[in-house]
Amino acid sequence: MFSLKSKTARWCTVVCLVGGLITSSSAVASQVKKPGIQGYSQQQELKIAYNRTDEVLKKLETKPPRFAEEQDQLTPDPADIPAEEPATAPSKTVYLTFDDGPHKVSDQILSILDEYDAKATFFMLDGNMRNFPEAVKKMAEAGHALGAHGVTHDKKKIYQSPQTVVAEMDQTLSTIKEITGLDSTLIRTPYGSAPHMKEPHKKAVSDKGYQLWDWNVDSKDWYYRDKRLVDYTIAQVADKAQKDEPLVILLHEREETLAQLPELLEYLKKENYDFKALDAAMTPIHLK
């Protein structure tokens, strides 16, 4: 790097040099009128003067070598400038949860989730796990989270007392352990915690160390049996995208949900969502 002052000094030197050459050339030209100087003819003297003048003009057209060298050092080579990385939107997280399984379509649901590198959480019924134990094993092997959804799925039975809730969850979690060898403390009660889970019920499951999960996006796949469930879910996701809480979607293991699942996952993927499973370290959300 060099300053403007040093640039000016160097150019002054160049100007002086050029001036000297011009003066010298003029002197030679003036002596041309005197024939026979230094043995040159008048024609030869004119040629010398012309050549020197031509040299001066060429020097004026050429920038000083040192200045050219330092200017090259100051100007970066475009090849050395790193290309800017394209901006990417920050990733977001969505938690897919499936109730009432396993089901005869569980394997197909797992295949679709695998295609999208999506992890999910399955809240399962005790009897269905005993009917489809291999599906439960595949869920565990694929890294999905497993939770209890109870035994009866009958609100008149399960919500009779805090003890009946705990008993159904104990049995279902025990079956998960029996089939997969994994311990789980994740639970979701049938129809959600509100309004059936009173404070004594909630305290009873909390005392057992269970994490009671609800949802904040209801696909209503238990009501909509076509693309409307996707549209309804997307509208809720867009509405809650800016809120500071986990995005937990309620789905069910059923044929209608299976048919619409790829479209829903494709939308979430394009919106830059990561698909993760719930875990015991998270703070559960509850229906209000």
What is the span of the domain harbouring residue 62? 4-76
For residue 209, report the phi and psi dihedrals to the nearest 5 degrees: 85, 15
pLDDT value for 128: 99
Statement to judge: residues 66 and 208 lie in one domain = no
Statement to judge: residues 99 and 60 lie in one domain = no
Residue 52 tokens read as 């020197």
Residue 247's closest CA among 214, 221, 206? 214
Statement to judge: residues 41 and 174 lie in one domain = no
pLDDT tens-place string over residues 154-212: 999 999 999 999 999 999 999 999 999 999 999 999 999 999 999 999 999 999 999 99
Is residue 184, in this structure, part of any structural domain at all? yes
CATH number at residue 98: 3.20.20.370
Statement to judge: residues 168 and 225 lie in one domain = yes
pLDDT value for 76: 60
Statement to judge: residues 127 and 31 lie in one domain = no
Is residue 206, in this structure, part of any structural domain at all? yes
pLDDT tens-place string over residues 69-83: 555 555 566 566 565
Count: domains in the chain: 2
Q: 39-48, 85-94, 211-220, 252-261: lowest mean pLDDT where? A: 39-48
Record the pTM: 0.71
Percent of the chain with pLDDT over 90: 66
pLDDT value for 243: 83
Domain closes at, from 18, 42, 76:
76
Is residue 39, in this structure, part of any structural domain at all? yes
Domain closes at, from 16, 51, 76:
76
Statement to judge: residues 23 and 154 lie in one domain = no
pLDDT value for 241: 85
pLDDT tens-place string over residues 238-256: 999 888 788 999 999 999 9
pLDDT tens-place string over residues 21-46: 444 444 444 444 444 445 556 666 55
Statement to judge: residues 57 and 171 lie in one domain = no
Is residue 263, in this structure, part of any structural domain at all? yes
Question: Given pLDDT bands bounded at 50, 70 and 90, which one contains residue 228?
Answer: very high
Statement to judge: residues 119 and 54 lie in one domain = no
Statement to judge: residues 160 and 200 lie in one domain = yes
Q: DSSP letters along 61-111, please?
A: HS--HHHHHHHHHHS--GGGSPPPPPP-PPPEEEEEEEEEE--TTHHHHHH
Residue 64 predicted with pLDDT over 70:
no
Statement to judge: residues 27 and 116 lie in one domain = no
